Amino acid sequence: MQKFFSQEWAPGIVLTAAAALALSIANSPLQGMYQDLLQLPLGLEALHLRKPLLLWVNDALMAVFFFLVGLEIKREICVGELSSARRLALPLFAAIGGMLTPALIYAGINAHDSLGLRGWAIPCATDIAFALGVLSLLGSRAPASLKVFLTAVAIIDDLGAILIIAFFYTDALSLPMLGAAAGCIAVLFALNRAGVTRALPYLLTGAILWYCVLKSGVHPTLAGVATALAIPMTKDAAGHSAFDTLEQGVKPWVNFTILPLFAFSNAGLSMAGMSLRSVAHPVTLGIVVGLVLGKAAGIFGTCWAMVRLGWAEMPAQASPVHVFGVACLCGIGFTMSLFIGMLAFGEGNEYAELVKLGVMSGSIIAASAGAAVLLTARRTTG
C-alpha cells in the first residue's frame, strides 16, 4: 500500500476512483442519500458558520488545496522552473495562450446566453494531479523535460485561475471584513519580514484570514494562497524549514483526502433527464471544445510561435509532437474546472449539471488524446 501511495500516478487514480464512485451513486437508488449527505448542515452558530457539508468541502477543505498551490507557486518562483526569465518564458506564454484560447472559444459558443457566459473561465483550468498522473503512466516514452514543462504550465495556470476567482467570481463585498482580511495579510507579511520561521503563527493568522475572507464575499480559498506566500523558505542550521515541512506534510492530505473528497462531492452527475440536447447545449459544448481543442491549440500554438521566433527552446529531447501531446493533457480540467463551474453557476441547477457533463467529457477526451499522441512521439537526439 505504501508503495502505491508513493507513485506519481497514484493521486490521479484515487481522484478518478472518487469521481467514479460519486457518478455511480448519483445514478443509483442511493442518489437521495448522497444529496442529503452533501446538504447536511454543519458548523458553529456562534461564529455564524453553519453551512452544508458540500460548502465545507468547497470553501474550507479546498482552502488547504490552494494553500498547497501557493507553496508550489512560491517554490517555483524562488528556486524552480519559474525562477529565471529564460526558464519562465515558454511555460508562461504557453499557459497564457492555454487560458485565453479556451475562454474565447467558450465565449463564442455562448455569446447569445448572458447566464451561460458566466462560465467562460471553466475550460481555462488544468488539473495538475490528473495531467501528471497520465504523463507518468507513459514512463520512459515521455522525456523527463516534459514533466518539468507540464508542471510549470499547470502552476502558472493555477495562478491564473486564482486571479480569475479573485476578480470575477466574488459575491457582494463587505468592506469591514475586507479591511480585517487586509489586516491579517499585513500581519502575515510582517511575520515574514521579522524573520519568524515557525509555522504556527502563520497558520493561526491564516485561519483568521480565512474567516474574514469568507465573510467579505471574496472566495475564502484565496486565504490559503496568501498564507502560503507569506511563509519563509529560510532553513535552520540543520537544513530544515517550516516551508518544506508544511509542503511535504500537506501534500499527501491534499492528494489522497481533500481532492478525492472534492471529486466525490462535486462529480455526482445524475444521468436522469440527460439527452442529446444536454450534450449539444452551448455550455457543455463550450467546455468540451474549450478543454479539448482550445487548450491544445492555445498551448501548442504559442510554443510553436515562440520557438520559431527564437524566443524560447523546446524542452530537452522533446519534439513538437511531444509538446502537442502535453498541450492535449492540459485539457484535463477536472478539479479546478469543476470548482470554477461551481462558483459560476452554484449547485443543484441545470447549468451545474451541464458543467459536470462538459468537464468530465472534455477531460476524458483530452486525457485520451494526449496519451495517444505521446505514445506515437519519438524523442529528439538533442
What confidence tier does 358 reach under pLDDT thresholds 50, 70, 90?
A: very high
54-89 in b/e form (b: 16+ CB < 10 A) is bbbbbbbbbbbbbbbbbbbbbbbbeebbbeeeebbe
Cell numbers for 302, please give them: 504559442
How many Å apart are CA 271 and CA 198, to the nearest integer? Answer: 49
Q: Quick check: 368 pLDDT over 70?
A: yes
CB-CB neighbours of 231 under 10 Å:
26
Q: Quick check: 59 pLDDT over 80?
A: yes
How many Å apart are CA 298 and CA 139, to the nearest integer? Answer: 26
What confidence tier does 303 reach under pLDDT thresholds 50, 70, 90?
A: very high
How many Å apart are CA 230 and CA 204, to the nearest integer? Answer: 13
How many Å apart are CA 132 and CA 22, to the nearest integer? Answer: 23
How many Å apart are CA 175 and CA 61, to the nearest integer? Answer: 25
What confidence tier does 97 reach under pLDDT thresholds 50, 70, 90?
A: very high
Amino acid at 37: L
Q: What's the pTM?
A: 0.79
* Tens of pLDDT, residues 184-216: 999 999 999 998 989 999 999 999 999 999 888
Smallest Cα–Cα separation from 335: which of 269, 260, 270, 283? 260
Which residues on neighbouring strands pair with residue 50, listed in sequence order? 43
* Tens of pLDDT, residues 106-134: 999 999 999 999 999 999 988 887 888 78
Q: Quick check: 381 pLDDT over 60?
A: no
192-221 in b/e form (b: 16+ CB < 10 A) is beeebbebebbeebbeebbbbbbbbebbbb
Runs of H (alpha helix) within 169-220: 175-193, 199-216
The confidence score (pLDDT) of residue 278 equals 83
How many Å apart are CA 83 and CA 69, to the nearest integer? Answer: 16
Helix (H) or strand (E) holding 100, with range, is helix 85-109
Sequence-distant (≥ 6) Cβ neighbours of residue 353 within 8 angstroms? 269, 270, 274, 278
How many Å apart are CA 54 and CA 61, to the nearest integer? Answer: 10
Contact between residue 360 and residue 334 where contact means Cβ atoms under 8 Å apart: yes
The half-sphere exposure of 196 on its side-chain side, counting CA atoms within 13 A, is 17
Q: Quick check: 382 pLDDT over 70?
A: no
The half-sphere exposure of 90 on its side-chain side, counting CA atoms within 13 A, is 25
State residue 49 phi and psi, 5-degree precision: -120, 80
How many Å apart are CA 67 and CA 224, to the nearest integer? Answer: 4
Q: Which domains does the chain have, with CATH numbers?
A: 2-169+219-376 (1.20.1530.10)
Cell numbers for 361, please give them: 467529457
Q: Quick check: 160 pLDDT over 70?
A: yes
Please, is 44 exposed, middle or buried when counting C-beta atoms within 10 Å of its C-beta (0-12, 13-18, 19+)?
Answer: exposed
Cell numbers for 67, please give them: 494553500
